[in-house]
Structure 1
Amino acid sequence: MMSYIILGFLCVIPSICLSVLTDGETQNDTLRDESGDSKTDVFRQLLNQETLIRMSLVKNVHSLMKDMVEMKESMSTSNKRLNDAEKEISSLKNEVHLLKTENRKLKEQAVKFQEQFKTTDSRFDEIEGNFTKVSFSRAKYERHLNKKIEDFEKNMSTILNDIKIEVRYLSVTLLDLNKHTMEINESIPILIESKFTEYSTIVSKSVSDINNKLITSKDYQEQLVYNLSTLGNDQSGLMKIISDHMNSTIMSIKADVEQSQKSQLKLSAAVSSLEVFRMNMSLLNNCGAKSIGFTVGVTSSSSTWSGDILVFPHLVTNHGNGYNPSTGKFTAPKDGTYVFFVAVNSYGSQTVYLNIVHNGLNVVQSMAYGSSASHQTGTNMALIHLDKGDSVWISHSSGTGYYTTSVPITTFSGFLLA
């Protein structure tokens, strides 16, 4: 519709301009008036001007048509933009509605949070009071623990003195037993020689008496046969008595020697146990004095164990929580020089080797060597500098099995030096 109006306007403009230029009258080449040539010149000028005006108008019409096309395109683009703007406005309205809804919900939650915060304040006060009580209880427990450690150290000193006395007594007893064994070993040949000498003397005397009686009397020959028979029986009985006595003596000597060997093994085990006990006492004292230290063990034996890492699940002490009973590894909570000690008891007459390992590198090795005596003990200790995060554990080197009881015998300990 708009295009039709514009076209009509363009058609009207030339006719108006033409009527203005010709004064609304039709002009032709035969026009004549009184002025003659002067009028013809004016008319020609007017025609030239009209031609120029018409050409100018044609240019303007073309320019207007071009502007109209551009205007149509611009209006189409504007309509698209307007539609997009309307869609965007609709989307923004939806978002505004959602934001209003969310804002309302947030306001409701803020009200709830304010109410909860009032309740939380009272809970924080209660928690603060609980922390104060816990701190007080912890200080009280530390004092109680320090007192227990002091009492334990005093008791252990007394026990160590008693053990030392008993070890001295066992040493003296072992020396006496060795001396007695040597005396018995020396007396056995002398005793056998004296018995055979005595028996030979008796036999020689009996033979001499028999010869004398055979020479002096025939009647005695019959009696001699009887006496010889009796003598043979007596000789057999005497030999049996001597043999039994010698066997019993030898068995007694063997029993004394075996008892001596057992006593010696017991003494060696007692000395080893004493050394282990001393080391554990040292570890315990250092763990009580320091903030980082542990003593762990196993409470069930195994005759077939030959794994990689020996895990000690039983915690005796674990100050600083450096030892992990699940992995069997101690991780240093801070830099420092640490002391580590391992004690392993072999299962029966088996042999087992264990290593103290630092970050995958073997440091030292302990050996519980199998022999005729059961449950041999192997120990070792290492002084290692650790950086924070370094790990130390006990690994299997060779052999199988280990022995322990409900009170751990196979143990692993460590502590931070001052």
Structure 2
Amino acid sequence: MEFRAFVLLTLLGCLSVESTLGQRGDMDIGARLRELMAKVESMKHLEAKLNETEKLQSDLEALEARLNATIDELTEQRAETDRLKKENKDMQMRLNATEEEIKKLKQSGGKADPQVAFSTSLANSGEVYKGPCTDKTLVFKQVFSNTGNGYDQNTGIFTAPVNGLYYFSFSTYGYNTHLMGAILMKNGIRQVSTYEDRSADGSDSSSNAVVLQLADGDEVYMELWENARVFDNLNGHTTFSGFLLFPM
């Protein structure tokens, strides 16, 4: 509209100028009018070109907006791809670890880690006084648990079924008439012990614990000190327990 108004004003201006030129013939005015109309057509053509240019500019801006949107989408897709690659890498690492565990299980015959644990006390009935005596091995008759069957209640000896690290604990109870205490033995060698000499009090109680590395077949048991005595009844004062921490 602004362009057309500009053309109309220009045309009117030109006609006004023509009216002031003096005495001219109608043919001169007609020729001038045709010239002006030709210019108008030329200006219309320029307007059309301008409109076409503006449309192209608008199309270019729209194309640029779509391009930017596509770039943003590609950036998001790349980020998602990187995330999926990381997840895939983590899954592959876990898969490799699982395959390694399966391989180890197959190499070990498909068996899980052995379960070994026992807990005992000296007396399974009545009252028991043990010692002083020549056979100083303590045979714990009351068996609370014996998972893995490592403990023999007939001999009082625990035999390690597998190589590993084992935890042992024990307690002893006795009266002041005798030395009270016992020694935890491994393959006939002293490891740790409890010890209470005769005293003025009526009775004594003591306990100890140790972690030992054992090989398959190693023997662990409790043995009295020389001239020592211990006591137990169904209350479980004198005890011996152990379990496998982990195989090696």
| TM-score normalised by the chain length of structure 2 | 0.49
Q: Determine which structure has more spread, i.e. the larger CA radius of gyration.
A: 1
Q: Greater helix share, 1 or 2?
A: 1
| TM-score normalised by the chain length of structure 1 | 0.30
Q: Which has the higher contact order (CA 8 A, sep 6+)?
A: 2
